[in-house]
Structure 1
């Protein structure tokens, strides 16, 4: 298992305990030039996504319809090679992103522990419960954003552009009609996310207050009924229920819109195949293409949500530090 042990990224110390002003400056501070390399890996993953679509189209139109066994074996082997390389690149990207994130979390935990140690030396009334919440779960969510801060948009936007561009070049009409269903998601998701952000910020405050109350219980021997703990637990429950309604409602709408894309391909593409205006191979590639478009689109929505949460987390931790 020693082979799986990798040293953390060496993040240089600045000697300044003040937090950086923005989330993305924090990402750069924690990862440095590694962001350039991880983005290059992400770009390679995105570019490789287009190759299987063209190979699918060729396999149906030029091989299966024509009955060319030799070309079938050649294109099938090439398809397999592309899938293997693409899979290895995706694993490499995820490992690189995770290594940067875990290195940032490790650095932040040590740094914030020193900040808390210094503050308790200066002020005996410093809340231990809040510090435990920040150095434990909260820094996990913030530091976890470091690895994918820039590279995740690169890979997902790259896939959307490469696959969408391929579809528009091959059959513009079908692509344009089907891609229309992606537009509402771009409009709706930020609106829903602003609502989620307010609920998340409220939840973080409630969780910190609960940590403080629990810490006070253990220190002064108070009874639960004499504290705000029952009300705080109820407030957290109500907050989470609201969050779940918005979260699953957003997911349901986006899934429905994603499903309409392939339906349009089959209906409009089927009419064009019957009229001799396109080929079956093109329709097969387009249905597969929409599946490949829906995944990065979902990941972009997820990224937007994670980035918004990390931004809230960064502001609240920065406020605690200062």
Structure 2
């Protein structure tokens, strides 16, 4: 098979000057800082700038609507619109830089992790360490390294950005109208309960799926080609299909419940906000700000939930890689110095 030959050829030809003993940290975040180091501080700073720039437009929107409905001067409206456009450009530019930078960090970590497996395999050939099956190594290099290394790029910046947006927007909404804010906060409280439970169910299935696919890879390597003489491979592929479908059912049910609660939040804002406008207790611009604010909250909340999903799944995947390291695919131990893959950009 072409992939298998390439894998074996790459192991034989590897000549990078890595140390003979390849060390993996015990925890996922140990790996994150081992593979990226001070780059996480830079992404954290960009995240702070981004959520600050993303919150200010809510107040600008409110003032534009109030100026238009309260017979304000068009010059004032035009100035506010110009400020809004400048803020949008700033937010977009910072987000562009952050996305590219985070992607580079993630890809560099993927490259580093793959090279570690290659080097560990090369060392095992020369007798420096024990090597587990080629099927496990093949699975790590072709499939498992990508999500684990890719998570490194967003491991710090993503939760910091989304939590920052949630905190800033909720604080602003409390300042505008505390009673309506209670409705907004209420719709997210139940989600903090059912999301971790449903995600734990997904994690168990992901771990089982990875184990099955490793068995598939091991059999292919042992046979030298993809042939199923005893029907075990077909059974495993069927198991993977059933596991994936159960993951989809849980995932999309979770999304349905989250979206339903968000729509209930909009209904509550329109009902209570409309009552306050009719009774003169608030202005129309405040209701508009709450509608925009809920969108500003819903999007980062969804992104934060997705990040949490990735975190839990990646912890499972990294744990499997680390366990493989314990039996010889790579060596496990304490954190060494900075990762060579992030010392200079390539």
TM-score (norm 1): 0.91
Structure 1 runs of 4+ off > 3 angstroms?
12-16, 120-126
Shift of 1:218: 2.2
Which residue is equivalent to 2:151?
Answer: 145
Which residue is equivalent to 2:65?
Answer: 60
Which residue is equivalent to 1:267?
Answer: 271
Does residue 1:34 correspond to 2:39, yes or no? yes
Shift of 1:106: 1.1
> 2:62·2:286 contact (CA, 8 Å) conserved in 1?
yes
Shift of 1:41: 0.4
Structure 1 residues 15, 279: closer, same or farther in 2, change over 3 A?
farther
**SS state of the match for residue 310, structure 2?**
helix
Does residue 1:178 correspond to 2:184, yes or no? yes
Structure 1 residues 16, 44: closer, same or farther in 2, change over 3 A?
farther
Structure 1 residues 16, 33: closer, same or farther in 2, change over 3 A?
farther
Residues in 2 aligned to 1:211 and 1:150: alpha-carbon distance in whole angstroms: 33
Structure 1 residues 14, 186: closer, same or farther in 2, change over 3 A?
farther
Residues in 1 aligned to 2:126 and 2:21: alpha-carbon distance in whole angstroms: 19
Which residue is equivalent to 1:102?
Answer: 107
Residues in 2 aligned to 1:41 and 1:19: alpha-carbon distance in whole angstroms: 28
Structure 1 residues 282, 208: closer, same or farther in 2, change over 3 A?
same
Unmatched 5+ stretches in structure 1: 1-11
CA deviations on 1:24-53 (whole Å, 9 max, x unpaired) are 111111111111111010011111121111
Residues in 2 aligned to 1:53 and 1:15: alpha-carbon distance in whole angstroms: 55
Which residue is equivalent to 2:305?
Answer: 301
Residues in 2 aligned to 1:302 and 1:43: alpha-carbon distance in whole angstroms: 20
Structure 1 residues 308, 116: closer, same or farther in 2, change over 3 A?
same
| Residue correspondence of structure 1 range 1-322 to structure 2 within 5 A | 16-122=21-127, 126-218=132-224, 223-322=227-326
Residues in 2 aligned to 1:204 and 1:300: alpha-carbon distance in whole angstroms: 25
Instruction: Give the aligned length.
Output: 309
CA deviations on 1:113-164 (whole Å, 9 max, x unpaired) are 1112223555998422221110111000000011111111110000000011
Structure 1 residues 321, 169: closer, same or farther in 2, change over 3 A?
same
- Further displaced range: 113-122 or 302-311: 113-122
Residues in 2 aligned to 1:215 and 1:124: alpha-carbon distance in whole angstroms: 18
- Further displaced range: 180-189 or 115-124: 115-124
Structure 1 residues 95, 25: closer, same or farther in 2, change over 3 A?
same
Residues in 2 aligned to 1:268 and 1:125: alpha-carbon distance in whole angstroms: 65
TM-score (norm 2): 0.85
* Higher percent of residues as helix: 1
Residues in 2 aligned to 1:184 and 1:259: alpha-carbon distance in whole angstroms: 14
Residues in 2 aligned to 1:156 and 1:181: alpha-carbon distance in whole angstroms: 17
